[in-house]
Chain A
Amino acid sequence: MLKCGDYDVLIIGAGIVGSAIARELSRYRLRAAVLDRAPELPFGQSRANSSMIHGGFDDECGTVKARFCAKGNAMYHALHEELDFRLIECGSFVCAQGEHEHRHLNKLYEQGKTNGAKGLEIVSGDAMREKEPNASGGITAALWCSSAAIINNFEASLAFIENACQNGVELFLETEVRGLIFDDCACEMRGVRTNRGDFYAPVVINASGVNSDVISRMAGDDSFIIHPTRGEYFIFDRAVGTLVTSFLFSCPSELGKGVTVAQTADENLLIGPTSVRQLDRDDRDTTPEGLEEAFSGALRLVPGIPRNMAITTFSGIRANIDRGDFYIKALDKPRGFVNAAGIKSPGFTSAPAIAAHVADLMKDAFGDILSFEPDPAFVPKRRHVPRFMYMSMDERAEAASKDPKWGQIVCRCESVTEAQVVEAIRRGARTVAAVKLLVRPGAGRCQGGFCAPRVVEILARELGVSPLEITRHGGNSYMLSGRTKDPLLPGEKK
């Protein structure tokens, strides 16, 4: 088998949890690598979620989730500036429609206080509607949390992994773990076996989300099962983004946090998710029932959402763990295997706190085999690709005068210039989706109708390949099938 490298630590999964851990570990003189089966990041739950930084009231007291959610929330305020991703302190309302739901609000309030959530207050339906005039008249009371915030999940997730890589962590995409490598008695980790070859390290961290039980079982820990649970979402045109300013939630059920209506960090309107268990871990199809449920659930919160202003729908698969809580643990046997498994909501919020905890856990458990000497070259700050949309006129003028690619708009809906697309490619984007995730062409109201030909052309040019090689999201997802006329010419391969 091909040997891919020797490391101190391998992290399986480059979602927000794996990326936050990678970034945390990059503070030290450790040789780390992150492996992810995806062609572009983020891929799994980190790609399809509500982009919320939760207040921390929604988790049962004493759980690991509760511990890390409020902590993570607080950490984001410094992190978003360090790592240059947008964080909007929009606050959240959990909305009760009727007396029977008021109890729930009280429960959440008490829970939140115990968990250390900040800015909690129960308000009347009328008070709530003063802030959110488009909310349903049926809302009788609401739990307000001022410390809830919204981010752009792609941007935040990528910010962590980029900073990690900036600080020496190696990232391997399209790399799927097929098995683990142990010493002869399976007492110690030696590495992982992937589709690309073998990676060696004495410490392997499992942050693989939906498949974290599969990976854990490879290490002999089958103490939990993941029940893949689908959540479906809609995004609506920015013109209706202003229907709400904060996150609105309906009261939750056992399977999930309830349907949300929120204005995204990009000013669109987001509704969802649903919560449906399924067997297939990779099936991220949307369904007619799921979309209907998401939409009708949202209408209960904000009756005026115009269906015909939807611009896209998507679904994500939650890593719903049967234990009901994050499973973060360094195994005794095989030594070196660390589970950061079963992490779903509030996983995004908790990620920085999880990362700090995992680092501490590792220092305790592996201080004898790994050196946690701080790396003096660690750079905590990372810059996002400058966002033309938010630049001032002067900044735009200055950028264009230095590089005319800043004067060439590629995506009209989100005001993205050629310079940004080129930079995204320089940072590793190889697919149309990867460009979208980092710098946004294709995420706006026309959903790539205008910019797709341009993005394909720029990708082909920058990567030095034919446009026919460009895919939408890796694998076989080619954008184009061939040149015009080739199918008409004799002897051409069809």
Chain B
Amino acid sequence: MNKTNLKANCTQHIDVAVIGGGPAGIAAAFSARREGAEAVVVFERDWEAGGILQQCIHPGFGLHAFGEELTGPEYAHRYLARAKDAGVEFSLNTMVFHMEPGRADEPVRFRTMNPEHGVRTVEAKSLVLAMGCRERPAGALGIPGARPAGVYTAGTAQRFVNMEGFMPGKQCVIMGTGDIGLIMARRMMLEGAKVEAVFEIMPWVSGLRRNIAQCLDDFGIPYYLEHSVCRLHGRERLEGVSVVRIGKDRKPIPGTERFIGCDTLLLAVGLIPENELSRMAGIEIHSVTGGPAVNDLLQTSRGNIFAAGNVVVVYDLVDFVSLEGERAGKNAARLAMGTFVPPARRLAVETDERIRVISPQYLTGAEDTTIYLRVAEPVEGRCRIFAEPGLFTQTLRYARPGEMNEITISASKLCALPADVTAVKIGLEVLS
């Protein structure tokens, strides 16, 4: 695989383009090459590939993919080695912009920008969108108060600590029990900061129980459910926060406010898939996930654009991100190579209010697939997830929003469904 030594301001013609060099993109590109696509290029805005993995220095990655418990950088290293060995090309420090809408029978066109090559046009036979997600900013919550320094989303703080070598502050409060917040609680403590408490607005924890144990309990950091930060104090640098109890009506209970002194507030209050480019491409965005609507081949509403990873739906485990990345890459390669068989069938995935997010949203039966979902509210007792008619059923000990559930769908079973079946119903049944 030749490194492109194209001049600036020219058009790069490739087979499969992958936007985003994080775990989804690396897997997609690797799989595209393995499938036989010739020119496969990953466009990554950072100076190295690996995406968010490079700053996730904690363990918890790779149990499924490699049978070992790896740190983020170790996982990235392994997968990158695979990708490079397979002949994937990486275009680093490269920003993608100006994505053009178009038809499935036209090449995907977009522009890239990079200090070495300047502006280039890329024409790819197929594309995998793998841009991941961003964090919901503090400003979005509209927390009353001034705008002091010291308020960061947990991921930004993680970048400062784990890659720049700087502490965002000394005395910290964390808002949200998302995994990134819990991980940063431990990280801050181990670097000598004080973490006062973690506050979660919902009546349940949104991250993994394991992280509650190993990031909070281990360090004696208290966490409070049904609490929210209701005010920021300090005009230049944060001096403290006020927290308030939240009632069953999800409104603050007057009189329960209390002040906690701190110089840092870290927020882990939600991840938003980065779909600016997807919107520009004109593909259908699903209103609940906020990501491209995809079928079980990870194909979007434009036939030669595929999507995988957190840009589609937010996953818990990177191992599944890689699996889905590989699926998207394989199908994108087939499309580029002309071996992709347009699906004959399309069934809509339907859910009820018990299930909050689900992906993919359409099933074709072209291959065995996995449906990923999150329940809207925890069920701390026996329950059953199912796919009907007659496709899947599994009894679970519990179901939690913070832990994604997987439903495996066999292609043959799907194809065997009568022709008049146009939807698959996914549901959750509470067993007594």
Contact = CB atoms under 8 A, between A and B. Distances in A.
Interface of A: 234-235, 239, 282-288, 290-291, 308-314, 393, 396-397, 400-401, 404-405, 407-409, 412, 415, 445-450, 452-453, 456-457, 467-468, 471-488, 494
Given A291-B144, A396-B113, A453 B159 contact: yes
B115 interface: yes
Q: Shortest 4 CB-CB distances between A and B: which pairs? A: A487-B192, A312-B139, A447-B137, A404-B115
Contacts of B119: 393, 396-397, 400, 407
Given A407-B117, A473-B236, A477-B236, 20 more contacts: A286-B144, A286-B145, A311-B139, A393-B121, A397-B9, A401-B9, A407-B115, A412-B45, A449-B135, A450-B134, A453-B163, A453-B164, A479-B168, A481-B168, A481-B169, A481-B170, A484-B166, A487-B170, A487-B191, A494-B170
Contact of A311 (B137, B160, B235): B137
A54 to B, nearest CB: 27
B193 A313 contact: no
B237 to A, nearest CB: 5
B155 interface: yes
Nearest to B138: A447
B144 A288 contact: yes
Give the secondary structure class of A's interface: mixed
A235 to B, nearest CB: 8
Contacts of A452: 152, 156
Contacts of B117: 407
Contacts of A239: 279
Nearest to B114: A407
Contacts of B149: 471-473, 477-479
A30 to B, nearest CB: 35
A401 B8 CA distance: 8
Nearest to A234: B142
A328 B263 CA distance: 43
Given A286-B142, A393-B119, A483-B165, A400 B156 contact: no
A386 to B, nearest CB: 14
Given A409-B113, A481-B168, A445 B134 contact: yes
B103 interface: no
Given A452-B156, A467-B164, A479-B149, A312 B116 contact: no
Contacts of B95: 409, 412, 415
A312 B45 CA distance: 25
Give the secondary structure class of B's interface: mixed
Interface in B145-183: 145-149, 152-153, 155-156, 159-161, 163-170
B156 A449 contact: yes
A449 B137 contact: yes
Given A393-B119, A477-B149, A478-B237, A310 B164 contact: no
B64 to A, nearest CB: 29
B118 interface: yes
Nearest to B93: A408
A485 B137 CA distance: 27
A308 B114 CA distance: 33
B142 A400 contact: no
A487 B167 CA distance: 10
Contacts of A457: 164
B227 to A, nearest CB: 16
B230 interface: yes
B165 to A, nearest CB: 5
Given A397-B9, A484-B166, A487-B192, A449 B155 contact: yes
B280 to A, nearest CB: 11
B118 A446 contact: no
23 contacts: A288-B144, A310-B140, A311-B137, A393-B121, A396-B118, A396-B119, A397-B118, A400-B113, A401-B9, A401-B118, A407-B117, A408-B115, A447-B139, A448-B137, A449-B135, A453-B159, A472-B149, A475-B236, A482-B167, A485-B192, A486-B167, A487-B170, A488-B191
Contacts of B98: 393
A484 B165 contact: yes
Contacts of B121: 393
A428 B163 CA distance: 28
Which of B9, B98, B142, B237 has the most chain A CB within a 10 Å cutoff?
B142
Given A483-B166, A484-B165, A400 B144 contact: no
A282 B235 CA distance: 10
B34 interface: no
A483 B167 contact: yes
A452 B152 CA distance: 10
Contacts of B147: 314, 472-473
A309 to B, nearest CB: 8
A453 B156 contact: yes
A446 B134 contact: yes
Interface of B: 8-9, 45, 93, 95, 97-98, 111, 113-119, 121, 134-135, 137-140, 142, 144-149, 152-153, 155-156, 159-161, 163-170, 191-193, 230, 235-237, 263-264, 279
Given A450-B134, A479-B149, A313 B116 contact: no
B333 to A, nearest CB: 28
A183 B174 CA distance: 57
Contacts of B116: 404, 407
A409 to B, nearest CB: 4
Nearest to A408: B115
Contacts of B235: 282, 284
Contacts of A453: 156, 159-160, 163-164
Contacts of A485: 165, 191-192
B340 to A, nearest CB: 31
Contact of A415 (B97, B142, B163, B236): B97
B58 to A, nearest CB: 15
Contacts of A284: 146, 235
B263 A481 contact: yes
B97 A405 contact: no
A401 to B, nearest CB: 5
Contacts of A471: 149, 236
A434 to B, nearest CB: 13
A407 B144 CA distance: 38
Contacts of B144: 285-288, 290-291
A456 B165 CA distance: 13
B134 A449 contact: yes
A295 to B, nearest CB: 9
Given A408-B115, A409-B95, A453-B159, A480 B166 contact: yes
B237 A477 contact: yes
Nearest to A397: B119
Which of A287, A400, A449, A478 has the most chain B CB within a 10 Å cutoff?
A449
Given A291-B142, A291-B144, A487-B191, A481 B137 contact: no
Contacts of B113: 396, 400, 407, 409
B192 A486 contact: yes
B118 A312 contact: no
Nearest to B95: A409
Which of B97, B140, B145, B163 has the most chain A CB within a 10 Å cutoff?
B140
A487 B188 CA distance: 11
A474 B235 CA distance: 11
